[in-house]
Amino acid sequence: MNPCLAANPPRMDTEERHAIEPEKVREFINELGTGFDNDCAYLLAVCMGMHRGEACGLSWGDVDFNAMTIHVRHSVDIENNLKGTKTKAGDRILPMPAFVADALRKLRANQEERFDKLNRDRKNACHYKGDPIEITDQSPVIANISGRRLHPTTLSKWWKDERVTFHELRHTFLTMLAIEGVHPKVMQELAGHSDPQTAMQVYTHVNLDAKRQAIDTLSRAFSA
């Protein structure tokens, strides 16, 4: 007998994705403007459609405050290795909203203060002989307390919001684009999808909801 027949097949990821309600997105975003590493990672997901690996793979050299853009060109895998994006489409330059730029400026200031204190503490420890922590273009935007690149699973462990999962923050990003009438092709490029199907599914779902609301409104008028 083939032993594989007795094995449980892997589950297919067919669970429906949920998004934060449009009227609550602004409130949610306002809660993330604190300038801390984890909050900024969540902001990058919900406002710029980045995967957790892409958020962890972001370096300060990828953030252009003058041009107001972020270049997504790396991702951190499950083994915490910094690599290129999973697909060619994933390598993309994203326009950066002003409130995201403000949050990242706060984050950098917080990191500089945090690392300065850590460097002083290490200097006062006679046994420590390592190099001081400095923020360079290669330094991670989302860092742990020691200035090292954060493991992607840490973001999910930190995530405590019961409304949506961390990955569904990215789905919220796509949903809001669809609600605002952004073309599926643009949605695809902003999200870094190589396959347009995902963006099209979100777009179709959102527009179907709008059509259903229109029909419900008309039905109430007919009933009256």
- 215 falls within a domain: no
For residue 103, with 0-12 CB atoms within 10 Å meaning exposed, 13-18 middle and 19 or more buried, which class applies?
buried
Task: Give residues with Cβ within 8 angstroms of 146, minimum separation 6.
Answer: 118, 133
CA proximity to 195, closest of 205, 185, 180, 207 = 185
Give me the pLDDT at residue 82, please: 94
**Whole-angstrom distance, CA of residue 107 vs CA of residue 38:** 10
Domain with residue 149: its CATH number is: 1.10.443
> Which residue ranges in the chain fall short of pLDDT 50?
1-2, 4-14
What does residue 42 show for φ and ψ, rounded to 5 degrees? -65, -35
Give me the pLDDT at residue 193, please: 87
- 184 falls within a domain: no
Structural domain containing residue 133: 17-166
Give me the pLDDT at residue 17, please: 61
Give me the pLDDT at residue 220, please: 76
- 76 falls within a domain: yes
CA proximity to 19, closest of 157, 174, 153 = 174
Number of domains in the chain: 1
- 171 falls within a domain: no
- 220 falls within a domain: no
Which long-range CB contacts under 8 A does 11-14 form with residues at least 24 apart?
none
- 21 falls within a domain: yes
pTM: 0.80
